[in-house]
Amino acid sequence: MTDSPCPCGTGKPFDRCCGLYLSGKAYPQSAEALMRSRYTAYVMGNLPYLRQTWHPDTRPELSAEDLNTEWTRLEVVRSKQGLKRSVVEFRAWFRDGDSERALHEISLFKLHKKRWVYVEPLSEWP
Ligand SMILES: [Zn+2]
């Protein structure tokens, strides 16, 4: 997985993209980078990283069953970075039998203890 392209779709090698974050060597400096790294964590089945990057107020109990989906690619539609709140709209594509479907979400991120964390989906673009 080392110098293959990162699953999040930036085109960078995994080691120089989300690999830095999933390994704990660095922490994403923007909500979009955090969102991309969380997608990669879903692809790679990294539950500890998903827990660590979820706001404690909204974090569900996560189990291995949450990782059954076969994700195929990520498409970031738009993002709006704020000082304490950021929003990212994306489509995460996954395999559904012989076809591909997308999870479409507008996600809210907040700065928590100086780190971006995922909070919850929003019903519309703010
Ligand atoms: Zn990446």
* CA dist., res. 119 & res. 97, Å (int): 30
C-alpha of residue 54 to centroid of ligand 1, in Å? 18
CA distances to 4, 15, 76, 112, 114 from 25, in Å: 18, 10, 24, 19, 16
Q: Is residue 5 part of a domain?
A: no
Range of the domain at 24: 14-122
What is the CA(113)–ligand 1 centre distance, in A? 23
Domain membership of residue 1 (yes or no) is no
In a domain, 7, yes or no: no
CATH at 90? 3.10.450.50
pLDDT digits (tens, 9 = 90+) for 60-119: 999 988 899 999 999 999 999 999 999 999 999 999 999 999 999 999 999 999 999 999
- Tens-digit pLDDT profile for residues 52-73: 999 999 999 999 888 999 999 9
Q: Are strands 115-122 and 85-96 parallel, antiparallel or unpaired?
A: unpaired
Q: How many independent structural domains does the chain possess?
A: 1
Distance CA 30, CA 82 (A): 9
Q: Would 81 be classed as within a structural domain?
A: yes
Residue 9 lies in a domain: no
